[in-house]
Each structure stands twice: as C-alpha cells, then as structure tokens.
Amino acid sequence: MGGGKGGSDFDPKGKSDSEIRRFCVAFMRQLSKHIGADTDVPAGDIGVSGREIGWLFGTYRQERNKFEGVLTGKGLTWGGSLIRPEATGYGVVYYVEQMLKYAGKGTFAGKRVAISGSGNVAQYAALKCIELGATVVSLSDSHGCLVAEGDAAFTPEQIENIADLKVQRKSLTEFDHKGSFMYIKGARPWTHLGKVDIALPSATQNEVSKEEAEALIAAGVIAIAEGSNMGCTQEAIEVFEAHRKEKGAEAVWYAPGKAANCGGVAVSGLEMAQNSQRLSWTREEVDQKLKDIMTAAFENGLNTAKEYVKGGENELPSLVAGSNIAGFVKVARAMHDQGDWWN
C-alpha cells in the first residue's frame, strides 16, 4: 500500500459542504500525480469519511482516466469492501480478545470497557464490545466526555444516535445523557472512571498522559490497546511498561496502535485485493479474514518479544518491543534480500 503518510491543514469544522468538496477536488488534482494502486494508496482518517473519499476518488478517476483501487474506504457500489468502515474498531477488539486469552483473563463478557472518541473507530469498537457481552462506560469528543453513572452503560441504540450526531458534525453535548451519564466539559474520560477492566483510546494522538495512565491502573485496568494512532504519550507508555514488569501476570498489559489498530489498514488491503480480482467477498468472509489478521498481529508481536527481549521480563511479554522489533526485522530482511544492504 506504499509507505507514504500525510494529510492537510484544512479543517472541515465550520466549513460548508461545498467548501469541503472544493478542497477535496483541488487536493486530489495535485495528489493524483503521485499516487496509484501500486504506488501509495490513501485512506480516510480524522475528518475524512466515505463522503470525502468519494469526492477524492471521483477526482482521481477524472484526472487519470483510471478506475482502480487507489483509495480505500470506497462505497460498496464503486469498489468498496464490506467491514471496511468497522475494521479498525472491530480489529482492536479482536486484538484485545487475544490478549485476554493469553493472559488467562477470560473474554469480553462481563468486562467494563472505557473508550475515548466517538468517531468511526470508537463507535464500532463500542458496538463490538457490547456484542461480545461487555459494558461500555465512556465516549468522548474534542469538547468533553460522557461517563456512565452507577450501573448505566451505552446501548447499541445510543451508539447509533451518537453516530447520527457525528454525521451532522455535532458534539456530544447534543446527546440526551440525563439520568445515565455524566458529561464532563473539556475533559477526557480516563480520570473520571470507576472500576474498569479495559481501556481503548480511540480518539487521537497523545490522549493518555502519565497521570491518566496512573489513574487507569488505579481503576483496575488489565488491558489497554490503542484504537487511535499513538494514543498514549511516551510517559504513559513507560508507566504501563514499568507496571507490567513489576506486577507480572496481574499487571496492566499495553498494546501499541501500530499492532492493535492495524485492522483498518488490513481491510484496506483486502479491499485492494478485491479490486484487483474484480470480486466482492461477503461480510462473513471479510470479518473472518480480519480476525485472522489481528490474531497473527498479536502472535507475531508476542513471539518476537519472547525471542528478542531478554532480562526483566515475565508472564506478559512487551507488546511494545515485540511489535517494534517485528516491524524492523520484516523491513530489514526485505531490504537485505533486495540488495539495499548485504553482508
């Protein structure tokens, strides 16, 4: 899918639909010269939904006179894949399932899950957690957070209502939360939780600080996995890793986003495969492939940590080190085999 990573400084908040469309068209007219199905393949992210992908893809098609898998997250009637919108959220939950299984901590059933964000990743992570029997106790956006009070929890219907608000570019302040949820303006949920078992930062980068990491440990979290890219600060990661080394099997176990949230990129790859073969897999087929990919990502990081990380380790290997080393080794071996360096 290429190694390119980028975006723009255009903020869609407060812009009209026409302004957003005009920007997408102008942006792709320039970007189209540098991307392709076998070069670099962009996908949606913060502020870029299926609507924007459609405008970008339409412009690419007009500029290059090609109908190919150059963007992922496309609509189902023009080259998209089932499960692609859900992929990152579902994927992080499938990854945590493997963490719980390995650690002997059961399944999602009966677990209390704190989630940040209320966009695509957070919504589908919440829905999958609920489907697996967990209780989702928080969501957030850039204006503040909602935290369940007492035994309250989000229902699938409430998640759908929040999704509708987000499509309209409204904030969580518009959600009818009285009686079940506490809305905290200008805050993230991590320091406002009661007992919680699993944390899924799914909003944006650097959203869990050192102090918030300590608060999550105090709340009883046994697993934290990043649904967002670089959701935890380096100081927070150091807190989690120190706790893991000190407490062993009873510690919090942290999974970095480069492994835990790869489901979106994985299904982007599956979307491209379907585009290349001119076929469409069923929802069940794509979902099973996603589960298999997330299981492989977990096992790869786990086994790499066991192989390379020596000294001071215990029952729960470092998924940070394992994922970093696994990625490095894969690239290094490919570079060696292709002659970029040799012995």
Q: Are residues 27 and 115 in the same domain?
A: no
pLDDT for res 311: 74
- CA-nearest of 113, 128, 183, 189 to 159 is 128
**Which parts of the chain sit beneath pLDDT 50?**
none
Residues 99 and 301: beta-carbon distance below 8 Å: no
Largest CA distance in the chain: 67
Residues 186 and 155: beta-carbon distance below 8 Å: no
Q: Which domain holds residue 249?
A: 87-260
pLDDT for res 46: 83
Q: Are residues 115 and 250 in the same domain?
A: yes
Does any domain span residue 126?
yes
The Cβ of residue 39 has, within 10 Å, a number of other Cβ atoms equal to 11
Domain end residue (candidates: 213, 243, 260): 260
Q: Give the end-to-end CA distance of the chain in Å, rounded to a whole number.
A: 29
Q: Are residues 174 and 235 in the same domain?
A: yes
Q: Are residues 180 and 245 in the same domain?
A: yes
Does any domain span residue 311?
no
For 36, residues 6+ apart whose C-beta sits below 8 A from its C-beta are 64, 68, 70
The three-state secondary structure class of 217 is helix
Does any domain span residue 253?
yes
pLDDT for res 164: 95
100 vs 107: CA distance, rounded Å: 6
Q: Are residues 163 and 113 in the same domain?
A: yes
Q: Are residues 102 and 31 in the same domain?
A: no
Q: What is the CATH number of the domain that holds 35?
A: 3.40.50.10860
Q: Are residues 31 and 108 in the same domain?
A: no
Does any domain span residue 8?
no
Domain end residue (candidates: 35, 54, 78): 78
Kindly state the tokens that stand for 312: 């001071």
Q: Are residues 115 and 98 in the same domain?
A: yes
Does any domain span residue 102?
yes
Q: Are residues 166 and 108 in the same domain?
A: yes
Q: Are residues 49 and 103 in the same domain?
A: no
Residues 127 and 156: beta-carbon distance below 8 Å: yes
User: What's the pLDDT tens digit per position in 290-317?
Assistant: 999 999 999 999 999 999 998 767 899 9
Does any domain span residue 317?
no
Q: Are residues 25 and 52 in the same domain?
A: yes
Domain end residue (candidates: 238, 260, 282): 260
Q: Are residues 159 and 239 in the same domain?
A: yes
Q: Provide the annotated active-site residues.
A: 5
Q: What is the CATH number of the domain that holds 157?
A: 3.40.50.720
pLDDT for res 322: 97
What is the count of structural domains for the chain?
2
Tell me which residue has tokens 């073969």: 277
Does any domain span residue 152?
yes
**Environment class of 80 (CB within 10 Å of its CB; exposed 0-12, middle 13-18, buried 19+):** buried
